[in-house]
A and B are shown apart, each in its own frame.
Chain A
Amino acid sequence: MTTGYQLKRADFIFKNQNDWEEILSKNIIRNPQDLINDLISSELKGRGGAGFPTGLKWKLSAEAVNDTKYVICNADEGEPGTFKDREILSKVPFKVLTAMAVCGHVIGAKEGYIYLRGEYFFLRPELNKAISEFDYYCREINFDFTIRIFMGSGAYICGEETALFESMEGKRGEPRNKPPFPSSSGYMGKPTVINNVETLAHTYTIFKYGAKRFYDLGVQYSRGSKLFSVSGDTPKPGIYELELGMSLSDFVDEFGDGDTKAVQVGGASGFLVPRKRFGETVIGFQGKLTGISLPTGGSMMLFNSSRSMFNVLDNYLEFFREESCGQCTPCRVGCQQLLNGIKAVKRGEKNAMYLDKLLRLTETMQYTAKCGLGQSIANSFSSIVENFREEMIY
């Protein structure tokens, strides 16, 4: 049963980047306000998973009053099941660099950084070459914008924007309190635009083709296309650019192996959707559509009937427990308790009712954890335990 939201392919991101010099020089002489308006009317939302309107983000930073500002590309792709940013950086890096430079022009920043996760160290040589070339061109057209790479060192939490700033400042990657937000106080306390790699690649599309072309893809509240990283029990693992707003059942029809039991949408911090809900689930940003709508970084992991959902949940909780920064009580102790808790229930040391206590715990974490990591554990925990309760116990 589909809701009329079909799976539609798109092809913008990986289309060639040969015209980057033209796109760059054309856009850095445009009025920043026009560029912002383009982004706002395109309704582009962040593609890293949080879905914040990009136009608004650039606008707020542009309005901040400060001589020093920064543009940061968040390439700390660490969400399980996500691998699209790596592909963008290796195949079409100039789109990202151009987008960063245009952002610099819009907000008044002269420096840009790419926070590249340590695991992607092997991308550096090619990326550095691209940056050299980019640098050379910028000097030719007299545009003052320098891009540098900052390497991460193996911490998923540094994908959280304020933890990323802390890391770049030479400290432990522990998230800060928000407010203040990055647009007023980011890296080194200065106004900073921090965008996901894919988001920047989409702004390139918008600057090249105009806002309408982007807006015409997708559905209400979820405009444009998105890269989906598909893996797991699928005959077609890989990266696919699809319009937002497709129903999950169409997606599974296309990518499932015929025996799909559940799909994890949005990685370990996303939701596990069981088969019975595929039809009513739409991949997009707003809850106003029929059924559930899921904001997503685009990670789609398919599980067939041979997979134990207990193992899946166990794997996620191990992940979170290791990657939690440990700063706030709910997440630091909560992750530990959740992991031990489900193991105890499985082993029969605690009875099934304990799962409800754990659900309440994840609810507490959702409302009280200091950052998105602790806040989103409830997503997969509750969706897995509620839909596959039997597998948690037996």
Chain B
Amino acid sequence: MNPISDLIRNLADQHGRNRQNLLPILQGVVEQEKYLSEYSMIEIARELDLPASEVYGTATFYSFLEHKKMGRYIIRICKTITCSMKGKNQVQLAIQDMLKIGIGETTADGNFSLLQTNCLGFCHMAPAMLINNDMFTELTPEKVREILSVYMNKKKEGESNDNRLST
């Protein structure tokens, strides 16, 4: 049995098979797989009896529903005005330096992807970034290097699943 088909079927069982359940299902697949492959979108279309084109059209609208293969940890750094003013560029350079990737790229070992995003709602503690669902604020180049090291060690022990706000 294909694990993605199983995942999708379970998500559909959990949320329902109506059009209004599409977004939670797409989110569920991204949560686990980190992106929506062509196969998974067609499977979802089949499961919900929707044209594949509509599933694509809906998924590609939302920034967080990646449709290109992403790393295990997706870093989203805020580029809106206040974070920009408070040193986002230095932080971004530190990340790029450490991981050897640019914006929109994924590390060769498939662990990290670096993206930009818009206002994360922490302007008073700028600059801010998300790594998957975890929020990090008041970043500096040193701090971000520390944070990334923790993630790099994490992958050796196995994935940890804490959704928390770190400062």
Contacts and interface: CB of A to CB of B under 8 A. Distances in A.
B124 A153 contact: no
A81 B123 contact: yes
Given A80-B118, A167-B23, A170-B21, A154 B81 contact: no
B63 A170 contact: no
Contacts of A167: 23
B165 interface: yes
Interface stretch (B96-104, B105-113, B130-138, B142-150): B130-138
B81 A316 contact: yes
B28 to A, nearest CB: 10
B135 A122 contact: yes
A126 to B, nearest CB: 10
Interface string A311-335: 1100110110011010000000000
A155 to B, nearest CB: 5
Contacts of A155: 61-63
A301 interface: yes
A189 B133 CA distance: 32
B63 A268 contact: no
B121 A83 contact: yes
A167 B126 CA distance: 29
Interface in A153-185: 153-156, 167-173
A237 B23 contact: no
A121 interface: yes
Contacts of A171: 19, 22, 58
Interface in A28-72: none
A230 interface: yes
Task: Give the top 4 A-B pairs by smallest Cβ distance, nearest first.
Answer: A154-B63, A170-B22, A154-B64, A237-B124
Given A80-B119, A124-B163, A172-B58, A151 B24 contact: yes
A229 interface: yes
Interface of A: 77-83, 85-86, 117-122, 124-125, 150-156, 167-173, 188, 229-233, 237-239, 264, 268, 299, 301, 303, 307, 311-312, 315-316, 318-319, 322-323, 325
B81 A301 contact: yes
B19 A169 contact: yes
Interface of A is mostly: mixed
B12 to A, nearest CB: 12
B84 A153 contact: no
Nearest to B126: A231
Contacts of A78: 118-119, 121
Contacts of B62: 118, 152-155, 173
B124 A238 contact: yes
Contact of B125 (A82, A237, A268): A237
Given A80-B82, A152-B62, 10 more contacts: A80-B81, A80-B118, A85-B121, A119-B120, A119-B130, A119-B135, A124-B163, A170-B23, A303-B85, A319-B80
B81 A237 contact: no
Nearest to A151: B27
25 contacts: A81-B81, A119-B117, A119-B135, A121-B163, A122-B135, A122-B164, A125-B163, A150-B24, A151-B23, A153-B26, A153-B65, A154-B62, A154-B117, A155-B63, A156-B119, A170-B21, A170-B58, A171-B19, A173-B61, A232-B82, A232-B85, A239-B124, A311-B84, A315-B79, A315-B81
